[in-house]
Chains A and B, each alone.
Chain A
C-alpha cells in the first residue's frame, strides 16, 4: 500500500505549487503512471479520495493517465516486440525501458484570484 505514501507526496507538491503561485485552491491534478511503476491506479485513487479531505485538493479532480511500458534497443533505436524476451530482434543487444516507470505529477490546475472578489458575491465561497 505504498500508494498512500505517494498520495502524501502528491498533496505536499500540490500545496507547494499553490503557495508558489498564490493560488486559493487546486482545481485539477494530472498524473502520469507507468505500467512498470509498481502503482495500482485504483488504489492510488482510493488513497487520494481519503487523503484529499481538508487538504488544498479537497475539491480537486484527479486524472490518472496510464503509460504503457515501451522497451527500445538503444543501438538500433527500434521498439522491442511486446511479450517477448527483452532483446533487440536486430542486433540481439539488451533493451532499455524508454517509458513506463514514471510516477509524475505532469500538470496542476489552480484557481487563482487575479483581484479581490467583487461585490462580496464570492466572499462565502472564498472561505
Chain B
C-alpha cells in the first residue's frame, strides 16, 4: 500500500527472476532422456521441412542397417499417421503423434507416446518431428542428437534463413542427391559454406535415399554417435524410476 501520500494505491513489488519459459519442457525432456539412457536407447530428433525426406531416409536406413541395431520411431504429424504407417511397413515399430494444430513436438507429447511404444528390446529411437524449419528447434525432447534434413530442391540458403534450426543441428543431412542432374544451379559447397555461418562445427552428409549414395556415411555417423553416447547405464533412483 502506498504509504507516501496516502492515496491508497497498492504497492508495486518488483521481483527479479531468471525463469526460462521452456523450464517445464526442459524438465520433462530431462526425464525422457534419463529413461531412454537407462533403457539403453539412443534417441535422435529428426527435423526438416515438410517433404525434405525424413521418412524416406528412415525407410532407407532400415533397409541398409538390417542386422544392425533394432530401430523404433515416433512420427509427429499434424493430421495423419501416414509416416508411421510407412515406417511400420519398412519394419520399424512406429507410432504417430498427431499434434492437431501444434507445429512441433514437445517433451510431454514424446513422453506420453513412449508409454504406448514398447522400447524393451530397441536400441535406437528416431523421433521424426513435424515438418517445419522453425518451431521444433527450441523444444528439447530428450534426444541425444539433432539431425536436420535439407533437400537439394530447397536451395543452399536455408541455413542462413533458418539459423535457429541449423544452429541446433549435430548433423545436417542433404537429401535427394539423385536430383542433382536436374538442378545444375545447386552448389553443395555453397551450402556447406552457409552452414559455417550458423554452426560453429558444421557436420554435413549428402545422400540419396533413392539411389543409396551416401547412406554408408550416414550409417557410419549413426554408429559413431551411438557409441559416443552409450556410457555406463545410468541407474534411476527413488520414485522417479518408472517408465517414462
A interface residues, Cβ below 8 angstroms from B: 1-2, 5-6, 9-10, 12-13, 17, 21, 23-24, 27-28, 31, 36-39, 71, 83-87, 94-97, 101-115, 117-119, 121-122
Contact = CB atoms under 8 A, between A and B. Distances in A.
30 contacts: A2-B102, A2-B103, A2-B104, A2-B139, A17-B15, A31-B21, A36-B163, A37-B138, A38-B134, A38-B165, A39-B138, A83-B197, A85-B197, A86-B196, A86-B197, A86-B198, A86-B199, A86-B200, A104-B17, A104-B21, A105-B21, A108-B15, A108-B17, A111-B13, A114-B1, A114-B10, A117-B8, A118-B8, A122-B9, A122-B10
B17 A105 contact: yes
A123 to B, nearest CB: 10
Contacts of B103: 1-2
A1 B135 contact: yes
Interface of B: 1, 3, 8-24, 101-104, 106, 134-135, 137-139, 163-165, 167, 193, 196-201
A114 B4 CA distance: 13
Contact of B135 (A38, A95, A109, A110): A38
B23 to A, nearest CB: 8
A9 B24 contact: yes
Given A2-B103, A37-B138, A106 B17 contact: yes
Contact of A110 (B13, B19, B106): B13
B16 A94 contact: no
Contacts, number: 116
A122 B23 CA distance: 37
Contacts of B1: 113-115, 117
B21 A119 contact: no
Contact of B17 (A17, A39, A111, A119): A17
B19 A87 contact: no
B123 to A, nearest CB: 30
A107 B19 CA distance: 9
B8 A119 contact: yes
Contacts of B201: 94
A36 B19 contact: no
Nearest to A120: B8
B133 to A, nearest CB: 10
A85 B21 contact: no
A115 B3 CA distance: 10
Contacts of A95: 200
Contacts of A10: 21
Contact of A13 (B3, B12, B19, B165): B19
The 5 closest A-B pairs by CB, nearest first: A94-B200, A38-B164, A111-B10, A85-B196, A114-B1
A6 B135 contact: no
A12 B21 CA distance: 10
